[in-house]
Amino acid sequence: MNKGLIVRMRYERGQCQLTTYFLGGELIGTQQEETDFEYNLYTTATRRYPGCPSAGYELLRFGRVLGPDALQPANAAHWRKISLPPRTEAGETERNAWFNLNAPGVTRFSDADFPHWMGWRLINDDTNEDSHCQSDYIRSLLEPPSYLSDPPPRQPDAATIATSAEYDSMYEGDRRRLSEQYMDERKLNTTRLEDAENQSKLKRLICKFPTEWAKNDFEVRYKWLKRVADHGPMSEDDFLKLEKHHQALAFWEEAGLG
């Protein structure tokens, strides 16, 4: 059972919309303020919060006070009309009520917090360090669903095979064919990423991924190129040239960003 609600406050072209969701992100309903509410915000703040209209303006606009001016009184209410879940047992199809969005226990977020009810999701199920996406979640979004109710484990791609212990026992011909497999896989993945439906699935994913701007782990992230690459493994000379180019651009350690 949901024990709370989410209210999204959005301003656009003079209007303010307040949309209510269940905690799981399911839509309940939307309420709109009067016409030109956004354009009249300071006038409204002056009327509702005469002790400090600037803080009142921020409360109305952002749902919280961001600047140095203090709200007067500090616990001033922020009343808004919001949609509530209808009581089906009472035969309701919709319901709304006035609610204090500045009440104790109300937590405020901004879009910068990447709220889950807007579709944002943290992806951190890829544990390797070779700069290839091995996330089961992302691959399940991009790859067509199997007709099997219990599909077999996903087959490793060429780069994964090239960095595994299996590579050492492979015949030379099978090793050469890995580069062909790599190019086919890249072409297929590119096609999938260009698909509008797949782009929509991926647009709000936050992916944990090794930075490409670090110097110290270049060998770890790209050594597979010596075994599988376009038209065959990369030569040692070409790999060293690539590493030198990368070292000239990398800055992560110097930046000290963690």
Residues 136, 250 share a domain? yes
Residues 109, 125 share a domain? no
In angstroms, the CA 110 to CA 151 distance is 40
Residues 251, 135 share a domain? yes
Residues 64, 169 share a domain? no
DSSP 167-193: GGGS-HHHHHHHHHHHHHHHHHHHHHH
28-33 mean pLDDT: 94
> What is the residue range of 24's domain?
5-113
pLDDT tens digits, residue range 194-206? 999 999 999 999 9
User: Which of 209, 219, 208 is CA-nearest to residue 242?
Assistant: 219
Residues 138, 250 share a domain? yes
Residues 242, 138 share a domain? yes
Residues 182, 104 share a domain? no
Output the pLDDT for position 3: 72
Q: How are the residues of the chain apportioned to helix, strand and coil, as percentages rounded to the nearest 5?
A: 40, 15, 45
How many structural domains is the chain composed of?
Answer: 2
Residue finishing a domain among 88, 113, 138 = 113
pLDDT of residue 179 exceeding 80: yes
| Residue 56 parent element (H or E) | helix 53-62
Output the pLDDT for position 69: 94
pLDDT tens digits, residue range 125-170? 888 888 888 888 898 888 877 655 666 777 888 999 998 999 999 9
Q: What is the pTM of this model?
A: 0.66
Residues 251, 125 share a domain? yes
Residues 99, 69 share a domain? yes
Residues 78, 196 share a domain? no
pLDDT tens digits, residue range 96-123? 999 999 999 999 988 888 888 788 899 9
Residues 139, 98 share a domain? no
Residues 128, 251 share a domain? yes
Residue finishing a domain among 59, 93, 113 = 113
Beta bridge partners of 10: 17
Residue finishing a domain among 62, 91, 113 = 113
- Alpha carbons within 13 angstroms on the beta-carbon side of residue 104 total 2
